[in-house]
Amino acid sequence: MRALVFEHGRLRLEKRYPEPLPAEGEALIRVVQAGICNTDVEIVRGYLGFEGVVGHEFEGVVVEICGDEQARERFAGRRVVGEINAACYRADCAYCQQGMASHCPRRTTLGIGGRDGAFADFLTLPMQNLHLVPDEVSDEEAVFVEPLAANFEMLEQVHVRPTDRVVVLGDGKMGQLAAQVLALNGCEVTMLGRHEEKLALARRHGVLTERVDGEDENALLRGGERVDLVVECTGSEAGLAMALRLARPRGTVILKSTVAARSNLHLAPIVIDEIRVQGSRCGPFAPALRALNQRRVDVRSLISDRYTLDEALAAFERAVQPGVLKVLVRI
């Protein structure tokens, strides 16, 4: 099969890569559409040391199911999206037994750790990872389920009140999704970013915006206000330091960025201001699918460009250009 492979520090399109074989309880999925995520970009910069087929945001069609007749009746030939962490679900795994499968120490992660990913003709995932895509949700919209679910995870982790003031730091694709999800909760959301065209996109969804000019990383909101919650989506190694300057005492900072670079951070403000710092990544697919099905979240406006798998190298070059949001790859 065709596959976009990262190996020995090089990204290449392989035309005769071995097709994956589903293990017991897994499905073979023909990938229809995949999206380039910032994590994919960071992987080819050395993040996590992953080698193999990259990509984890996808929509596809189930073509084979190994050993599960009940699942075959429900999923065979149907469009699906998939949670990316394949856990062990063993009785002796404390993480799986406590509902923390995404932290299972034996897990593999699609296109990120120990499992080939979605920029390929086919991939495999366990059946319990799969979710059917409603007919009303298009292929392109379905690609956004995984990153959208990652933003609904914030509402699972932190109690966001409708009266809270929230800042989303960064105007890229993750920041845009975060702002829309938080706005559904009724709170006041302000996006800080550097690109007027991206800030204008956020304003279409009722998000307040402020532009940070140049490289002024000391910038605060107008008037120097500090807020209840800051969501860091800059993809910058300096992002946490910026977020801490914006969070009020006993406020909360949520970290959504995955960055290959390391940062030196002065930790005293976290202690002095008693700030809660919450890491946040994978989240629940059900509310993401509902939000897309009910047209409560707009993802089509985040699509900057479309490529085929044969053009995947050019797609990655496009994805890192300034001002670009989501780049999709049609498989």
CATH number at residue 74: 3.90.180.10
In 3D, which of 304, 312, 305 has the Cα closest to residue 331?
312
Q: Tell me if 285 is assigned to some domain.
A: no
CATH number at residue 236: 3.40.50.720
Token pair for 277: 């710092």
- 123 and 187 part of one domain: no
Q: Tell me if 291 is assigned to some domain.
A: no
pLDDT of residue 217: 47
pLDDT tens per residue, range 251-293? 999 999 776 566 677 888 899 999 999 999 899 999 999 999 9
Q: Give the domain extent around 262.
A: 149-279
What is the DSSP-derived secondary structure letter of residue 134? P
Q: Tell me if 293 is assigned to some domain.
A: no
- 21 and 128 part of one domain: yes
The SS3 call for residue 183 is helix
Q: Are 137 and 293 in contact (CB under 8 A)?
A: yes
Q: How many domains does the chain have?
A: 2
pLDDT of residue 169: 95
| Residue 214 pLDDT level (bands cut at 50, 70, 90) | low
- Residue 130 confidence (pLDDT) above 70: yes
pLDDT tens per residue, range 237-246? 778 888 999 9
Q: Tell me if 311 is assigned to some domain.
A: yes
Quote the pTM value: 0.92
Q: Tell me if 323 is assigned to some domain.
A: yes
pLDDT more than 90, % of the chain: 82
What number is the average pLDDT over the span 179-184?
96
Residue 127 CB contacts under 8 Å (≥ 6 apart), including other chains:
25, 26, 27, 65, 68, 71, 75
pLDDT tens per residue, range 73-118? 899 999 999 999 999 999 999 999 999 999 999 999 999 999 999 9
- 49 and 157 part of one domain: no
pLDDT of residue 83: 97
- 197 and 232 part of one domain: yes
- 237 and 205 part of one domain: yes
- 107 and 216 part of one domain: no
pLDDT tens per residue, range 60-71? 999 999 987 888
- 188 and 305 part of one domain: no
